[in-house]
Amino acid sequence: MPSNDLVNTAENYLHALCTEIANRCVGSVGNQQATDLFTEKMIQFGFRTVRSEFDCIDWSSGEPSLSVNGESYEAFVSPYSLGCEVKSPLSMASTIDELKKLAGSDRVLLLRGDIAREQLMPKNFTFYNPEEHQQIIALLESKKPSAIISATSRNPELAGGIYPFPLIEDGDFDIPSVYMTEKIGDKLSQQLGKLVNLRFEAQRVPSTGCNVIARKGSDPNGRIVIFSHIDAKMGTPGALDNASGVVVLLLLAELLQANQPAITIEIVALNGEDYYSAPGEMRYLADNPNQLQDVYLGINLDGAGYVDGDTAYSLYDCPLEIAEKIRDSFPARQGFIEGEQWYQSDHSLFLMHNRPALAITSEKFDYLSTFITHTEKDSPELADPEKLVDAAHALQKLLFTLDQVWVNSR
Ligand SMILES: [Zn+2]
């Protein structure tokens, strides 16, 4: 049983990050409040703390109005879309070939079926961007429809539990767009060639955000880095995604208060995992021109602490000596389980630079990403503060042991 004090602290942090702060989306006031809170705590716990800023946009929109011949259709504004007021005939494409054959720019274009089955990666998202997505975006930009309507179903891998999901979520793409369910899309598709009225307001406001980087120890040759992304998707309290990870970092920093490790310990609130252009991740890589070659172990927490099931850890390219220490520090009897590898979070930064990594999430990861992640359901009741305290203790033990291994290997 973890101490009551720390459990209370964990609960208070969750409340502060998910309830007192209304929204942690990159660029928002809430996001800045969250990074302020993190900075203040890291300084209080004796870490050398720097903030690394980047430009981003804060976005807001009104409700869309969409009708054909006086009949209304329910739709949602795509995040980061520009606003519009258009009256144009409806055209349609469900494959890349159909999109290629479309003529005329003064159209409202309905995308449905195959072409709309997965969320299109943003234009400037460089970490993962399939050729097919780039081709669709390039075709849309050359066809220049006056607006785009996408009809979508579910896409847990790229869009989380949100249904319908926005096909386009990209502040660098300038054709206004809305999205709707497949069912309403079917209905709308009957209106091919008819005049569509589509109107909504939206604003992209220039803003800033930052990563918060907190360090102890000063060995230039060895560093253990621990990430949690502090931002949340727009429209979700983001308790498991990823206030819970941030809470573990805050608890861990408190536990390390009196320690002076030999190896450098770097605790990072990354800011942008759930934002279309991953600005914090880009900033972090730019701040690390050595390609992370001094990283002895990279750790990432995302989706940890779900009330149901164990806390799952997974290893990536860990040398035997590190793997052994990880397994010792996360024992089954304390509610840890070694789970499958997964790649949809910030530990990918370590993997792309061939550094050993450890990712920590919940055993019910699949359920969460299909039904909870990125929805309004991701609220603090779903996070178990005791599990977060247990994870912080396990990490403290791991850091202590790895520090010894590091010292002995010098
Ligand atoms: Zn996340």
C-beta atoms surrounding 354 within 10 Å: 13
364 and 380 in one domain?
yes
**Beta bridge partners of residue 174, listed in sequence order:** none
Residue 37's nearest CA partner among 14, 4, 57 is 14
What percent of the chain is predicted at pLDDT more than 70?
Answer: 100
Of the residues 200, 215, 232, which one is the last residue of a structural domain?
200
Average pLDDT (182-204) is 97
Q: 243 CA distance to ligand 1 centroid (A)?
A: 9
**pLDDT, position 44:** 98
Regarding beta strands 177-181 and 147-152, do their DSSP bridges make them parallel or antiparallel, or are they unpaired? parallel
**pLDDT, position 247:** 98
361 and 213 in one domain?
yes
231 and 187 in one domain?
no
Token pair of 357 as six digits: 């990594």
Average pLDDT, rounded, for the chain: 95
68 and 50 in one domain?
no
**CATH number of the domain encompassing residue 377:** 3.40.630.10
pLDDT in tens, 229-255: 999 999 899 999 999 999 999 999 999
pLDDT in tens, 258-269: 999 999 999 999
Amino acid identity, position 110: L
Q: 247 CA distance to ligand 1 centroid (A)?
A: 14
Whether pLDDT at 98 is above 90: yes
Q: 374 CA distance to ligand 1 centroid (A)?
A: 9
Q: Kindly report the length of the chain.
A: 410
Backbone torsions φ then ψ of 227, nearest 5 degrees = -105, 145
Whether pLDDT at 111 is above 70: yes
361 and 245 in one domain?
yes
pLDDT in tens, 345-401: 999 999 999 999 999 999 999 999 999 999 999 999 999 999 999 999 999 999 999
Of the residues 152, 176, 200, which one is the last residue of a structural domain?
200
Coil/strand/helix, residue 88: strand
Q: 404 CA distance to ligand 1 centroid (A)?
A: 31
Distances (CA, A) of 374 to 5, 74, 206, 221, 349: 30, 20, 23, 38, 22
229 and 315 in one domain?
yes
Q: 365 CA distance to ligand 1 centroid (A)?
A: 11
**CB within 8 Å of 165: residues ≥ 6 apart:** 119, 152, 154, 155, 158, 159, 179
Q: 244 CA distance to ligand 1 centroid (A)?
A: 10
Q: 373 CA distance to ligand 1 centroid (A)?
A: 8
Containing structural domain, residue 89: 63-200
| CA 404 remoteness from chain centre | 33
- Which residues have beta carbons under 5 A from ligand 1 (an ion)? 241-242, 302
Please tell me the distance from the alpha carbon of residue 159 to that of residue 166, in angstroms, as a whole number.
8
49 and 75 in one domain?
no
90 and 23 in one domain?
no
Please tell me the distance from the alpha carbon of residue 259 to that of residue 217, in angstroms, as a whole number.
9
**pLDDT, position 1:** 53
Distances (CA, A) of 96 to 118, 127, 131, 134, 183: 13, 23, 12, 11, 21
188 and 247 in one domain?
no
Coil/strand/helix, residue 71: strand
Token pair of 137 as six digits: 């975006």
Average pLDDT (102-116) is 92
Amino acid identity, position 369: S
pLDDT in tens, 195-220: 999 999 999 999 999 999 999 998 99
**pTM attached to this predicted model:** 0.91
Average pLDDT (319-348) is 96
Q: Which helix (H) or strand (E) holds 48?
A: strand 48-61
Please tell me the distance from the alpha carbon of residue 33 to that of residue 174, in angstroms, as a whole number.
29
**pLDDT, position 269:** 98
Q: 241 CA distance to ligand 1 centroid (A)?
A: 4
Of the residues 200, 216, 240, which one is the last residue of a structural domain?
200
Q: 303 CA distance to ligand 1 centroid (A)?
A: 6
Q: 191 CA distance to ligand 1 centroid (A)?
A: 39
Whether pLDDT at 2 is above 80: no
222 and 78 in one domain?
no
**CATH number of the domain encompassing residue 114:** 3.50.30.30
Please tell me the distance from the alpha carbon of residue 235 to that of residue 288, in angstroms, as a whole number.
32
Q: How far apart are the first and last CA of the chain?
A: 36
Per DSSP, 16 falls in state: I
Distances (CA, A) of 121 to 74, 135, 154, 346: 24, 11, 16, 16
Coil/strand/helix, residue 43: helix
**CB within 8 Å of 401: residues ≥ 6 apart:** 325, 328, 329
pLDDT in tens, 268-323: 999 999 999 999 999 999 999 988 999 999 999 999 999 999 999 999 999 999 99
Q: What's the domain count of the chain? A: 2
Contact status, residue 234 vs residue 278, Cβ threshold 8 Å: no
Token pair of 100 as six digits: 């290629």
Distances (CA, A) of 232 to 12, 28, 32: 18, 10, 12
| CA 206 remoteness from chain centre | 20
Average pLDDT (84-112) is 95
